[in-house]
């Protein structure tokens, strides 16, 4: 890992007139801004489909392989001749700084239907057929899964007719025949998403920008992954999880966190030579240059809570064959550019696995100013093989933290670091300076901290629903002056 710096901003937060950031012109404009300010890393959140039932969180998805079709750019569809200028004239009045998922889903899918009808008349059939063939290992089942969910009123697959729930071959083939048009539409959307993503990725790489992606450790119980390969998960005979994921009680929560995802059946996964995980990593390495694994410690040992519990209190730690797993990955992939999300309470066994395989961990400056001089997030305690952040998507902004969350002792230590003369208007830059000047190989700053925004701009507040994952920039022009200053920091601390 060479010494670099970059920005954390999800695609949905880019400014567009379509209510949500996408893979169109504004994404390319943002790459130009990154290049102009000598930033060489762009970190995004998971790209998988989101679900309104889960607040459209990118960490809850019906597929670990499919892409989020809300990110498809209508402008690129127009450039391809699949939409007309007239189709893009009457755009609804969307909120300028807040993603309104419900309105956007309705609007965009009407456009996508028009684009699909035009694609069947004038589209590149050979490229589409190649895409379907190359991605058949997940695409066919995913497209059928989504189509069946629509057919059955978006109900969970465990509530479908038994023969479809259990994927009896005759019923599956019958459904494919009866729903072929709907299945082809879902395949088309994935084709467009992946075409637009790889075009953007190529532009990033051509301009010296590396993409850091993010994969959640778990998948949802109601997902194509569980439906197609239930033996990878701990399920009962009715395909209901016997154990679900979470984290135990700690200083922050007396009852722990109960996530509800099915936990992995590592015995079966190991007996199958970790093939599902290898396919998952291979897919991520196509999409990204570096892959951040969320809740990395769950790949060493995980907290399993009996299904039906209301809290995470009655869980137990379960071991993962971590050395076998990562050793097998290392033998399969000549390059394994993984970043381990190792935040929270990390035990020695997790650190030993990270050290053994050379995986860099994360340092978050918002956590640095409590707990004394041995706090691992204080810059003088860093090792080079790590990634430092001012904050993450789960944190408040630097301004929001200082104004609303920091204790008096944290404020005092923070002032010791930045100097008591620094005003509130510059606290974000002082925190950026600490990150950039550290020995950490990568220094990454959320866009909100570059702009010095307050708590109203945070991306996610864990354990809450209703107002997360919605932050959006209103325009690209507003951010350019801030990136000029960021370039100065990058040059001074030789991260270019």
CA dihedral 175, 176, 182, 186 (to 10 degrees): 120
Q: Which of 29, 100, 140, 394 is catalytic?
A: 394
The catalytically annotated residue of 51, 163, 182, 294 is: 294
Distance CA 400, CA 123 (A): 48
Two tokens, residue 14: 């880019």
Q: Is 117 a catalytic residue?
A: no
Nearest 5 degrees, angle CA 75-CA 76-CA 77? 90
- Quote the longest CA-to-CA distance of the chain: 74
CB 35 within 8 A of CB 490: no
Active-site residue flag, 394:
yes
Backbone angles phi and psi of 182, in degrees to 5: -65, -40
Dihedral over Cα of 348, 349, 352, 353: its sign? negative
The verdict on whether 410 is a catalytic residue reads no
Asked if 350 and 295 count as a contact pair (C-beta separation under 8 A), the reply is no
User: What whole-number distance in Å separates Cα of residue 180 and Cα of residue 300?
Assistant: 42
Alpha helices in 152-179 (DSSP H): 162-165, 169-178
Look up tokens 């071959």; give the residue.
169
In the set 214, 220, 341, 449, the catalytic residue is 341
User: Which residues are within 8 A (CB) of 57 and not within 5 positions of it... i.e. 6 or more apart?
Assistant: 50, 51, 460, 468, 469
| 191: phi then psi, degrees, rounded to nearest 5 | -60, -45
Angle between helices 125-134 and 180-206 (to 10 degrees): 90
- Which residues participate in catalysis according to the annotation? 294, 341, 394
């Amino acid at each position: 890992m060479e010494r670099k710096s970059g920005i954390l901003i999800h695609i949905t937060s880019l400014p567009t007139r379509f209510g949500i950031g996408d893979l169109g012109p504004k994404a390319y404009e943002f790459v130009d801004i990154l290049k102009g300010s000598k930033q060489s890393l762009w970190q995004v959140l998971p790209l998988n489909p989101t679900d309104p039932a889960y607040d459209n969180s990118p960490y809850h998805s019906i597929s670990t392989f499919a892409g989020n079709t809300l990110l498809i750019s209508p402008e690129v569809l127009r450039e391809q001749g699949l939409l007309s200028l007239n189709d893009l004239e009457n755009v609804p009045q969307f909120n300028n700084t807040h993603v309104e998922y419900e309105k956007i889903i309705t609007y965009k899918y009407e456009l996508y239907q028009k684009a699909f009808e035009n694609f069947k008349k004038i589209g590149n059939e050979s490229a589409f057929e190649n895409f379907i063939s190359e991605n058949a290992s997940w695409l066919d089942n995913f497209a059928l899964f989504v189509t069946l969910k629509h057919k059955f009123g978006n109900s969970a697959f465990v509530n479908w007719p038994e023969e479809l729930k259990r994927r009896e071959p005759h019923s599956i083939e019958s459904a494919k025949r009866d729903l072929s048009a709907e299945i082809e539409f879902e395949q088309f959307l994935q084709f467009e998403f992946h075409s637009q993503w790889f075009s953007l990725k190529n532009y990033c790489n051509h301009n010296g920008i590396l993409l850091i992606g993010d994969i959640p450790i778990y998948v949802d119980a109601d997902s194509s992954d569980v439906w197609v390969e239930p033996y990878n998960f701990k399920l009962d005979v009715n395909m209901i999880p016997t154990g679900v994921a979470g984290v135990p009680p700690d200083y922050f929560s007396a009852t722990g966190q109960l996530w509800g995802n099915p936990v992995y059946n590592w015995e079966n996964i190991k007996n199958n030579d970790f093939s599902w995980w290898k396919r998952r990593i291979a897919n991520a390495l196509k999409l990204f240059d570096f892959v951040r694994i969320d809740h990395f410690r769950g790949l060493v040992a995980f907290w399993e809570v009996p299904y039906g519990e209301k809290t995470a209190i009655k869980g137990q730690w379960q071991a993962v064959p971590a050395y076998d797993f990562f050793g097998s990955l290392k033998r399969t992939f000549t390059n394994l550019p993984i970043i381990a999300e190792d935040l929270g309470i990390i035990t020695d066994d997790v650190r030993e696995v990270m050290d053994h395989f050379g995986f860099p961990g994360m340092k978050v400056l918002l956590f640095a100013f409590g707990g004394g001089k041995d706090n691992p997030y204080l810059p003088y305690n860093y090792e080079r093989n790590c990634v430092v952040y001012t904050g993450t998507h789960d944190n408040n902004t630097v301004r929001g933290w200082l104004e609303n969350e920091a204790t008096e002792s944290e404020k005092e230590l923070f002032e010791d670091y930045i100097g008591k003369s620094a005003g509130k208007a510059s606290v974000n830059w002082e925190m950026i300076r600490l990150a950039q000047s550290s020995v950490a190989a990568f220094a990454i700053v959320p866009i909100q901290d570059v702009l010095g925004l307050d708590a109203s701009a945070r991306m996610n507040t864990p354990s809450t629903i209703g107002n997360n994952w919605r932050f959006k920039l209103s325009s690209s022009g507003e951010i350019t002056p801030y990136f000029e200053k960021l370039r100065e920091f990058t040059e001074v601390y030789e991260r270019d």
